[in-house]
Chains A and B, each alone.
Chain A
Amino acid sequence: MAFLEVKNIRKTFGETAVLKGIDFTLEEGEVLSIIGSSGNGKTTLLRVLNFLERADQGKVLVDGEVIFDSDQTMDEKTIREKRLKLGMVFQNFNLFPQYTALENVALALNLREEEGLKGEKLNFFQKRAKRKEIKEKNSQIAMDILKKVGLEDKANLYPCALSGGQQQRVAIARAMALKPEILCFDEPTSALDPELTGEVLKVIKELKETSNITMIIVTHEMEFAKNISDKVLFMAEGKVEAFGSPQEIFEESNNPIVQAFLKRDWQGEQA
């Protein structure tokens, strides 16, 4: 049994079928790149996995546990627990502008632990002390994660004072803080100036080398996908057109659609 099993995911927006039955599996610690032209459902697939869209049909299992099943309705609380198995890094970073880099990383941790305080019978002052304790502990955790993405010296800056690449690195740290089992990236470098993509890709690469986290990356950076991936999934028109090792997809594929895409892309990069 594979670590991540995605079974027959279908999603329709109005009249348009965006996902027409997606199936794939992934082993723990593997890095999957999802490639293909724009508008072929790559982002929607990530959004379905992260509960930002509800699939019309299909099943998702992580480590044997059902985290999504279109035949079941889950209440919000269950969804909140299940979705934490996955983390998400957005194309546009989506950092919270009113918080510093450190606060961005620590916020969700603080909120989760403060929720736990509600059940305890504490008076106002005890609660305040507990909150302070939680905050200090999580600030330390957040700082350690920021160190991993090389931004400990920017911890107290607000997102508007950071470059795009730095913002995306904070966003990666923020997603890592909740210790997801699978980290998803939705075109993490598409919103960046070309000279800034390198630092973000480097952080993702280091993440792969230093941790055993499973990653799913939707990307247009073919060279990067080729180097970092254990598996590559090629999507076309809402379907899995090809799935295999980078070698199989980039070098050995005789699928005409894949070949056409890769050819165009190489040319595009050279132009």
Chain B
Amino acid sequence: MEVFWEVSLTLGAGFVTSILLFILTLAISLPLGLLMAFCSMSKIKPLRFAMKTIVWILRGTPLMLQIFAIFYLPGLLKLFVWPQMHTGWEWFDSTISTRFIAALVAFGINYAAYFSEIFRSGIENIPKGQAEAGQVLGMTKNQIFSKVIFMQVVKNILGPMSNEIITLIKDTALANTISVYELIFYSKKYMLDGLIWPVFYAGAFYLLFVGGLTLLFGWLEKKLSYYKV
């Protein structure tokens, strides 16, 4: 029983890191994804092309590779290209590890790429007449987007978005590859010490969290069901 408590506390602490990574990733990737969606729909051709290429690379290579790239690239640059480069601060590393930051940046831009495609299709699926109705009523572009289009997009993309967000919490496990002390990192540690059940126990954490997310999205969907797009 004592072992169970110890494992629970350790895994719990790891899961707090996982959730933190999850929340901060969303905080970065949702607005960034919207921005990228606007870029990929831009009238400026080079910008559109650049954004499509970036999205292609981010969606076309493994997330784990991207985590490695972001974590190791500064060090490699320092070693071979730019010896004077500053790669981190010790106090900073001791409070929020640079490993965590590297993982966060990788997750942030990777998920922004996926979100941007969801936003783009969500926005493009709104009938043109909606924006035109706003225009003839003398609304500005910003007003049309924020007051007319946005809520309809939210409703449209709730399904694919909830899928992607549920995937994210499980993807945070990839951060253990650069030794971010998250849930899988700790359960793996137990496994290497010969204790196998904490790995399955860790699965229960994710399961419970995803259950909560599912309820949340179900509630949101119900809340938005008062109108049909």
Contact = CB atoms under 8 A, between A and B. Distances in A.
A203 interface: no
Nearest to B146: A111
A94 B137 contact: no
A104 to B, nearest CB: 9
Interface stretch (B1-9, B47-55, B147-155): B147-155
B138 A80 contact: yes
Nearest to A184: B136
A178 B138 contact: yes
B139 to A, nearest CB: 6
B227 A98 contact: yes
A94 B227 contact: no
Interface stretch (B24-32, B127-135, B161-169, B202-210): B127-135
A50 interface: yes
Contact of B133 (A80, A94, A111): A94
A107 B139 CA distance: 10
Contact of B137 (A76, A98, A174): A174
Contact of A108 (B138, B151, B152): B138
Contact of B132 (A94, A95, A175): A94
A90 to B, nearest CB: 6
Contacts of B227: 97-98, 158-160
Interface in A125-160: 158-160
Interface residues of A, number: 28
B129 A80 contact: no
A98 B152 contact: yes
Given A94-B130, A107-B147, A111-B147, A88 B228 contact: no
B42 interface: no
A259 interface: no
Given A92-B129, A98-B152, A158-B227, A80 B140 contact: yes
A50 B136 contact: yes
Contact of A83 (B129, B133, B136, B140): B136
B151 to A, nearest CB: 5
Identify which of B137, B139, B147 gathers the most chain A CB atoms within 10 Å of its CB. Answer: B137
B200 interface: no
Contacts of B147: 107, 111
A111 B139 contact: yes
B137 A160 contact: no
A185 to B, nearest CB: 12
Contacts of B136: 50-52, 83, 86-88, 175
A136 B227 CA distance: 23
Given A94-B130, A96-B148, A111-B143, A83 B138 contact: yes
B137 A107 contact: yes
B92 interface: no
B169 to A, nearest CB: 29
Contact of B140 (A50, A76, A174): A76
Interface of B: 127, 129-130, 132-133, 135-141, 143, 147-148, 151-152, 155, 226-229
Interface of A: 50-52, 76, 80-81, 83-84, 86-88, 90, 92, 94-98, 107-108, 111-112, 158-160, 174-175, 178
Given A52-B132, A96-B148, A175-B136, 17 more contacts: A83-B138, A84-B138, A86-B136, A88-B136, A90-B133, A94-B127, A94-B132, A95-B133, A97-B228, A98-B152, A98-B155, A107-B147, A158-B227, A174-B137, A175-B137, A178-B137, A178-B138
